[in-house]
Structure 1
């Protein structure tokens, strides 16, 4: 069965991670079969300064005011 790697910006609560792990596990079992005990979910919290999109760090994007 699968090992799912979920990366997102830090700040999610344990409750949110718990709920997401449950939902992802149930989806894998429903679609792929097998048992829930064989599904692994690994969460990685990433700082905004460690993630860039389009060549711009997300920490820099958050620091800029929204343009109108």
Structure 2
């Protein structure tokens, strides 16, 4: 059973998460020929201060 993990900063509401899970599941099933019912998707939200890009946190980049 395939598991697709999405890691992102917080900010999506419940409907956006539903739509993302649906779209990713459908795309994976279409490309691989797997049954959509076998596709698992998780969305993990990581706070912006826990992400680093180029030696700076996302929180710092967004506050500039």
CA distances 1:21-66 after superposition (whole Å, capped 9, x unpaired): 11111111110012111100010011110001011001111111xx
**C-alpha separation between the residues in 1 aligned to 2:48 and 2:34?**
36
- Is there any run of 5+ residues in structure 2 with no aligned partner, and where? none
Cα separation, 1, equivalents of 2:34 and 2:47:
34
Equivalent residue pairs, number: 64
Please give the TM-score of this superposition, normalised by the length of structure 2: 0.92
Larger radius of gyration: 1
Structure 1: stretches of 5+ with no match in the other structure: none
Partner of 2:3: 3
TM-score computed with the length of structure 1 as normaliser: 0.87
Any runs of at least 4 consecutive aligned residues in structure 1 with deviations exceeding 6 A, and if so which?
Answer: none
